[in-house]
Amino acid sequence: MTDFPPIRKAVFPVAGLGTRFLPATKSIPKEMLPIVDKPLIQYAVDEAVEAGIDTIIFVTSHKKGAILDHFDPNSELESLLTAQGNVELRDRVHNIIPDHVSTRYVIQEKALGLGHAVWCAKKLVGDEPFAVLLADDLIRSTGSGCLKQMVAEYHATGSGCIGVEEIPVSMTDRYGIVSVHKDAVGRNYIRDIVEKPSPESAPSNLGVVGRYILPAEIFSLLESVRAGAGGEIQLTDAIARLLENKPLLAHAFEGVRYDCGSRQGFIRATVDYALENADLRDDLLRYIETVKGV
């Protein structure tokens, strides 16, 4: 079996405005909104670290200081928790980023789209395949996390990979949509990818979720694509060009995805994660019973 370069770096575009959560996101980045007691961005970072990522690259805006603060060590807080004898909580705060993982930041000066955000990480990524995670797609899995599953596919084939799931046809205009063909051993390779097509023109109902493993060639393609859907530089359009020369897998991950960029998805995630938490479950179930018929 061939050895392919490891996937060590992950790009987190976190410069978006989060308008769907205003006014909450006027001063708090949407990625810092918590599901139970962890900010969305930390779920995604944890998933990346589990997949073997050792360099986290945040593409951020000038206004996202809270994200930097969250991932910076806070020795004052840790000392206080130690003095209070709350070792468990101190360790949780300390291990927000494991010691072997480093964080880097790059500023996206203008909100020109997801493709532009990824392009901003070009110098920090260099010439190696890398991952992209969109933190508002929260993926809960009982086994390996979504990115770890995709890294395994990459190591088995050497091909880049995009996370996908079936979505209702009526919702194709909210996501990137792919059509696929199977290879001889049943792996799904992407034939086409289109950003937010109408249900009538969508090539399928397989929606892209915010998990990508991409070769470094994507950066030069991002430089030449023009503004696409919504007037933005779309990652999807550069991926469509990449497909002319490079195969890419579509990975239908095991797990549940919550679109936490929408209020409905965010609330569902909050309920499901709370139900998984032994301290909260019974109380929440009792509470749901009392409000059910209201």
Please, what is the minimum distance in Å from the beta carbon of residue 289 to ligand G1P?
33
Nearest residue (CB) to ligand G1P, 14 versus 125: 14
Question: By C-alpha distance, which of 167, 169, 201, 164 is closest to 180?
Answer: 164
Nearest residue (CB) to ligand G1P, 187 versus 196: 196
Please, what is the minimum distance in Å from the beta carbon of residue 85 to ligand G1P?
42
Nearest residue (CB) to ligand G1P, 146 versus 209: 209
Please, what is the minimum distance in Å from the beta carbon of residue 163 to ligand G1P?
9
Q: Are 199 and 233 in contact (CB under 8 A)?
A: no
Nearest residue (CB) to ligand G1P, 94 versus 259: 259
The torsion defined by the Cα of 88, 91, 93 and 96, in degrees rounded to 10, comes to: -130
Q: Catalog residues that contact ligand G1P under the rule CB under 6 A.
A: 114, 134, 137, 175-176, 195, 207-210, 234-236, 261
Q: How far apart are CA 144 and CA 51, in angstroms?
A: 8
Please, what is the minimum distance in Å from the beta carbon of residue 176 to ligand G1P?
2
Nearest residue (CB) to ligand G1P, 29 versus 261: 261
Question: By C-alpha distance, which of 110, 107, 101, 151 is closest to 131?
Answer: 151
Q: Inter-axis angle of helices 87-94 and 75-83, to 10 degrees?
A: 170
Query: Which residue has the closest beta carbon to ligand G1P?
Result: 176
- Main-chain phi, psi angles of 9, to 5 degrees: -110, 140
Please, what is the minimum distance in Å from the beta carbon of residue 21 to ligand G1P?
13
- Main-chain phi, psi angles of 8, to 5 degrees: -110, -25
Nearest residue (CB) to ligand G1P, 144 versus 262: 262
Nearest residue (CB) to ligand G1P, 17 versus 96: 17
Structure tokens at 206: 């397989």
Q: Are 176 and 193 in contact (CB under 8 A)?
A: yes
Please, what is the minimum distance in Å from the beta carbon of residue 261 to ligand G1P?
5
Please, what is the minimum distance in Å from the beta carbon of residue 13 to ligand G1P?
8
Please, what is the minimum distance in Å from the beta carbon of residue 115 to ligand G1P?
8
- What distances in angstroms separate CA 140 from CA 208, 225, 273, one per listed residue? 16, 33, 9
Nearest residue (CB) to ligand G1P, 90 versus 261: 261
> Identity (one letter) of the amino acid at 239?
I
